[in-house]
Structure 1
Amino acid sequence: MAKKKKWKNLDGIVFSTNQDFDYQYNDEDQDETLAPQQQDLRVMLDKKQRGGKKVTLITGFVGHEDDLKDLGKFLKSKCGVGGSAKNGDILIQGDFRDKVVDLLKADGYKVKKSGG
């Protein structure tokens, strides 16, 4: 496993001439990842600002960014398409609403299908 580099969390400070300076690292605590039964996810079709292309959008995930990316990777691999996972949202390229809802329900998530 790769080591987490402390200097990546520096918030704009490069160098200090103060001998007694002790930088406080920006280790923000992320939200604790809720259990799948406590997650309230929404699955919808979105094509805004995407040049008319459709994507399946999953919103409402509460938890660590790593857990969000793992869930996104699982859904992308099951659908056989690309996508992304960031800022609490998962984007799956194409219209896979029904398949995503079935996969999430099988994993124990509370899911609602929104829109058309």
Structure 2
Amino acid sequence: MGRGKKLDLFIGAEIDDSWAEIQTLRKTTISKEILEPSKHFLYFSKEKRRGKTVTIVGEFLLSKNDKTTTLKMLKKKLGCGGAVKENFMEFQGELKEKLRPLLIDANYRIKNGH
């Protein structure tokens, strides 16, 4: 077979161009409800990023200003860096044991076992 010839194979599958279109779109609900600190149930998780540990706490359902002020206060007391990403606060280092009493003092509740 040369370079310019096309290979014509018939496998037996029928290819149809009639794609089914989804009529109803899926509606995801992201809670934009703002809760007071005593109604939050926070949990901790730990990730490794580029060989360093990051402690993630969440989910904070607060206004944007309250999230940034809470993050600022916690970073200052812990002496570490951090950021707010999608209602979760990320702190540099393994800080679960130091974060727990600070959050309890700020009237946040923490899920059992976390």
TM range, smaller chain:
0.5 to 0.7
Shift of 1:85: 1.1
The sequence identity of aligned pairs, in percent, is 33
Q: 1:34 maps to which residue? A: 35
Under a length normalisation based on structure 1, what TM-score does the superposition of the two structures give?
0.64
CA distance in 2, matches of 1:33, 1:73: 19
Q: 2:44 maps to which residue? A: 43
Check conservation: 2:36, 2:62, Cα contact below 8 A: no
Stretches of structure 1 that go unaligned for 5 or more consecutive residues are 1-29
CA deviations 1:62-106 (Å, max 9, x no partner) are 121221111111111111011111310101100110111110011
Under a length normalisation based on structure 2, what TM-score does the superposition of the two structures give?
0.65
Question: Cα RMSD between the aligned structures?
Answer: 1.7
1:57 equivalent in alignment to 2:62: no
Stretches of structure 2 that go unaligned for 5 or more consecutive residues are 1-30
Give the number of aligned pairs.
83
Q: Which runs of 4+ in 1 moved over 4 A?
A: none
